[in-house]
Chains A and B, each alone.
Chain A
Amino acid sequence: MTPAISITNLTKTFGSKSALRSVNLEIPAGATVGLLGANGAGKTTLIKCALGLLRPTSGQCALLGEDVWSLSAEAKARLGYVPQVISLYPWMRVRELIQYTASFYATWNAELTNRLVREWDIPLDDRVRALSVGQKQKLAILTAVAYQPDLLILDEPAASLDPQARRQFLQLLVELTEPQQRTVLFSTHIMSDLERVADYVAMMQKGEIIYFGSLEDLKDRTHLSLEDAFLQMQQGVANG
């Protein structure tokens, strides 16, 4: 099967600073991957390059089997993305924003939308600008999942959610990954979330992927908690 994400020798520099150093990463279709890394490790840059929002300095990225710089409209319609910094039209009412987004997608699931609005307490009549950071994050997640993308990429999706909303979000993720062919990549600092919902983990340090593999294998091999395994892995790389 075609990998959902295929990154080959990806390098990205900003001026003299190198943000990604020769990254290779192949994510199989159907995997739920948690992306770990300290602040500044390159997670967001990697995600933006993978999505074609940033042009790599060198190397290639392919999504759903297509080069990301010449992605077809069909492939784009199968792609969901929640950025770290949410920007939604502030003048729209929430209801309008949902309707507006829905109008772009033939696969929009109205039933799922209604359920999430209800369960997540999303205020339909408020202006987007009046929402809290957490509410905006919920809304961004809703509009990214409601058209049921085959590949969903989320950059720290749970960062601003309260504990209850985070739990609901994790349950949604579990539900979304039910069809075995749907692929999810999410970056996070919350290890316990990752351990629950991910089956693969990718670890980044200073612009490099220092580990990619099944979470179960990692634990069976190291007998360590994810946090300890991650710290040890970072240490190991730092010590050469």
Chain B
Amino acid sequence: MRLRIEPSSGVPISRQLADQIRSQCVARALKPGDRVPSVRELARELAVNQNTILHVYERLTAEGWLETRQGSGTFVKANPGARGHKNAQTQALLAQLRQAVQQARLLGISLEELHEMLSASMALETESDVQAERSSV
């Protein structure tokens, strides 16, 4: 599991980690059944307070991404409920958007500009759909 921490950002470390693990589940970099490091292992590896890691795992377990099997560790959950999964995917998308917003702020891009960029990229998406349809005709 590859995780990066930016201690000097405004986002709490627990949220940074939860967002990254969630994204990796969505992107299938973490597959159902994969074992994730124990709280203690991950805390030591990242040099991050154990309670912080514990919060991350508790939160992701509550969201249906991870499950703890008594005595054998914490795993990526095999079958998140359909609704839970959608919620979780939305959560992951939100997390990515949050990161994008933060990056935009760092680059000095205003909210309006960001909106425009978002609309533009959605327009591009639609355009390519149209083109795909045309070429198939």
B-binding residues in A (CB < 8 A) = 32, 167, 170-171, 173-175, 177-178, 191-193, 195-199, 215-216, 219-220, 222-228
Q: Mark B19-62, 1 if CB is under 8 A from A, else 0.
A: 00000000000000000000010011011111110010000000
Cα(A199)–Cα(B80), bound, Å: 31
Contacts of A177 in B (CB 8 A): 49-50
Top 6 A-B residue pairs of the complex, sorted by shortest distance between their CB atoms: A192-B7, A170-B47, A195-B7, A219-B12, A171-B47, A223-B10
Residue of A nearest to B13 (CB): A195
Contacts of A175 in B (CB 8 A): 44
Given A32-B49, A199-B51, A219-B12, check contact A171 B7 (CB 8 Å): no
Whether B49 lies near A198 (C-beta < 8 A) is yes
Whether A225 lies near B48 (C-beta < 8 A) is no
A142 to chain B, nearest CB (A): 18
Contacts of A199 in B (CB 8 A): 49, 51-52
Cα(A219)–Cα(B7), bound, Å: 11
Residue of B nearest to A175 (CB): B44
Is residue B120 contacting chain A, with contact meaning CB distance below 8 A? no
Contacts of B5 in A (CB 8 A): 196
Q: Which of B10, B51, B55 contacts A219 (CB 8 A)?
A: B10
A-binding residues in B (CB < 8 A) = 5, 7-14, 40, 43-44, 46-52, 55
Main secondary structure of the interface of A (DSSP, over half): helix
12 interchain pairs, CB-CB under 8 A: A173-B47, A174-B48, A178-B50, A191-B8, A196-B13, A196-B47, A196-B49, A216-B14, A219-B10, A225-B9, A226-B7, A226-B8
Cα(A215)–Cα(B52), bound, Å: 10
Contacts of B44 in A (CB 8 A): 171, 174-175
Whether A215 lies near B40 (C-beta < 8 A) is no
Whether A195 lies near B8 (C-beta < 8 A) is yes
Contacts of B43 in A (CB 8 A): 174
B85 to chain A, nearest CB (A): 26
A19 to chain B, nearest CB (A): 30
Cα(A136)–Cα(B11), bound, Å: 35
Residue of B nearest to A227 (CB): B8
Given A178-B40, A196-B5, A196-B7, check contact A220 B47 (CB 8 Å): no
Cα(A191)–Cα(B55), bound, Å: 21
Contacts of B47 in A (CB 8 A): 167, 170-171, 173-174, 196-197
Whether B10 lies near A174 (C-beta < 8 A) is no
Given A174-B44, A175-B44, check contact A224 B10 (CB 8 Å): yes
B86 to chain A, nearest CB (A): 25
Whether A225 lies near B49 (C-beta < 8 A) is no
Contacts of A225 in B (CB 8 A): 8-10
Residue of A nearest to B47 (CB): A170
A224 to chain B, nearest CB (A): 5
A163 to chain B, nearest CB (A): 12
Residue of B nearest to A198 (CB): B49
Q: Which of A174, A191, A226, A227 contacts B49 (CB 8 A)?
A: A174
